[in-house]
Every structure is written in C-alpha cells, then in structure tokens.
A and B are shown apart, each in its own frame.
Chain A
Amino acid sequence: GAVVSQHPSRVICKSGTSVKIECRSLDFQATTMFWYRQFPKQSLMLMATSNEGSKATYEQGVEKDKFLINHASLTLSTLTVTSAHPEDSSFYICSARDRAGRTDTQYFGPGTRLTVL
C-alpha cells in the first residue's frame, strides 16, 4: 500500500523558534498534499492544501506567514511553523493523494507531535 512518512515524529522546542516538519510519499508521486492539525480530544482540522510547484492554499483562519508550506517535488512537502508559541503545540499530520490513483484516497503520515515550551 501507499506509504507516507513524516519527520520528525516528535519535537520539543522553545517559544520563538521555528520548526520544520517533512512529509514524504515513499512509493508514489503526490501532486497534492494536505496538512492537518489535531488538538487533544478533537478531530483533524485541515490547515492547507499543498500543490507541487505552486503556492499552498490555506484554510480560513490559518496564517500563511506563520505556517510556511513548500512542495518542491512530487514526493516531499514541508511545513515550517515559524516563531512557534505554546498555543501551536499540536499533532500535525500530512496526507498525500496518489497522482496515478483512480480514486480520491488520501494516505496519511503518522503525525508529528509538536510541543512548544
């Protein structure tokens, strides 16, 4: 099956620093990747849609200057949380859609738990 990886799986950082999270599709090409975040005991919230070679589309209420998304290749998208603050502590999850797939199935990464002190 299609595999999506994320790195790191867990990160702890100080307030004010920036953190980069990588999302890779390991055995397929993904023209579109999605970034979600999930707060404790809540459901996933879509943050942005990342298309290879173009600017990401952000959901309402998500600051594009704070959550920088780069999708430079068909297998890699990165999310950088800039000037992180404790309220940014969350579980960040990416997903990817198989470019060659006949369906709209998304394959999810294992998630990155960010803790900002």
Chain B
Amino acid sequence: DAKTTQPNSMESNEEEPVHLPCNHSTISGTDYIHWYRQLPSQGPEYVIHGLTSNVNNRMASLAIAEDRKSSTLILHRATLRDAAVYYCILPNAGNMLTFGGGTRLMVKP
C-alpha cells in the first residue's frame, strides 16, 4: 500500500485557515487521496477525496500537488468543532483503509 506521512500535531487559531499537509511520494497513478477526521470518542468522518484536480466541498478543500506526491487539506475557517485527528489515506485495491497516526489539530479560541 502507498504510505502517507503527516505531522503528528498542528495548532490553529479559531476563525483562521488551516493547512494540513500530507506526503505520499509512493502514490500510484490510480490511487485516490482520501481524508477522514475523527472527533474525540467518535467514529471517523469522511471529509473529502480527490485524484488529480483540486476539490472543494462544504467541509474543506483539497489541494493536490501536480506530481501528486503531496496534498493539503484546507479548512478555510477553523472552528472549535474542527478539533480532531485528521487522517490522509490512500485506499488500497480492496478499498481497505490503513489508518496511520494522523494529525491532531488543536484549535485555540
């Protein structure tokens, strides 16, 4: 499986944008990039996914590098409710998700 690397933790101020990076240098041409997040004591929640082009939805934006070896999840205005662990995942051929350590996002009021 293609592996991803994320910082262990990041801090943000409320109402400010947050850029969460992810490196996936061994990504193959058909691998989608998925982002999930897990709030405390809850199951993970789908955030966004993409293949090559940048993607936007109501939760976030996903910026994918031209060589696809890295991507950035963008929260345009962080709120306290966005405090969570964010996982960048490349599902394998069987759609199995391998969760790494993720990035713990802390949002300061």
Min distance, Cβ A2 to any Cβ of chain B, angstroms: 9
How many interface residues does chain B have, given as a range?
Answer: 20 to 34
Interface string of B37-80 (1 = CB under 8 A from A): 01001111110010000000000000000000000000000000
- In the complex, the answer to whether A95 meets B43 with C-beta atoms within 8 Å is yes
- In the complex, the answer to whether A111 meets B41 with C-beta atoms within 8 Å is yes
**Chain B residues, Cβ within 8 Å of A36:** 99
Given contacts A93-B44, A103-B32, contact A32 B95 (CB under 8 A): yes
- In the complex, the answer to whether A106 meets B97 with C-beta atoms within 8 Å is yes
Interface string of A83-112 (1 = CB under 8 A from B): 000000001011101000001111111110
Contact of B43 among A32, A46, A93, A97 (CB under 8 A): A93
How far is it, in angstroms, between the C-alpha of A51 and the C-alpha of B87 when the chains are bound?
A: 25
Overall SS of chain B's interface: loop
**Chain B residues, Cβ within 8 Å of A109:** 43
**Chain A residues, Cβ within 8 Å of B49:** 103, 105
- In the complex, the answer to whether B44 meets A34 with C-beta atoms within 8 Å is no
Overall SS of chain A's interface: strand
Query: Is A43 in the interface zone, CB < 8 Å from B?
Result: yes
B contact set with A: CB distance below 8 Å: 32, 34, 36, 38, 41-46, 49, 87, 91, 94-102
A sample of 22 inter-chain contacts (CB < 8 A) reads A6-B43, A32-B95, A34-B96, A36-B99, A43-B99, A43-B100, A43-B101, A44-B44, A44-B97, A91-B41, A97-B95, A103-B32, A104-B32, A104-B34, A104-B95, A105-B46, A106-B95, A108-B36, A108-B45, A109-B43, A110-B42, A113-B41
